Amino acid sequence: MVEFALVVPLVLALVLGLVEVALVARSQMEVVNAAREGARQAAASPDPSDAVRAARASLGEAGPSAQVSVRRPDVVGRLAEVRVTLPYRVAAPFFGGVGVEITAKAVMRVER
């Protein structure tokens, strides 16, 4: 019984850690996808606000808290770059959480 009482908190901490890693990985994939969507829009549209809207829309409810920067040259064939940064609280239910930033960058050639 004593061994069980000692091992259960460790197993619980390990499981919670694995769940948190999975949540961070999911958020990272969402941010990468948002950067890709923004770059796709930046390559097709000369208005940078279209790319910002596309990236934020791709993030869903987390979109308004994301910082999106767009660098798009006016020359066809040059690279348009979109960088998306999303603040994330790791282990938010415990100890108030630790803040990290999840960042992704995507580039695509300007089409018009």
Cβ(93)–Cβ(23) below 8 Å: no
Domain that holds residue 21: 2-109
User: How many residues does this entry show for the chain?
Assistant: 112
Tens digits of residue pLDDT in 86-111: 998 887 666 667 888 999 999 999 98
Q: Which regions of the chain does DSSP assign to beta strands (E)?
A: 67-71, 79-90, 98-109
| Total count of domains within the chain | 1
How far apart are the two ends of the chain, measured CA to CA in Å?
70
> Mean pLDDT score of the chain, rounded to an integer?
90
pTM: 0.84
Q: How far from 73 is each of 46, 50, 54, 84, CA to CA, in Å?
A: 9, 15, 18, 18
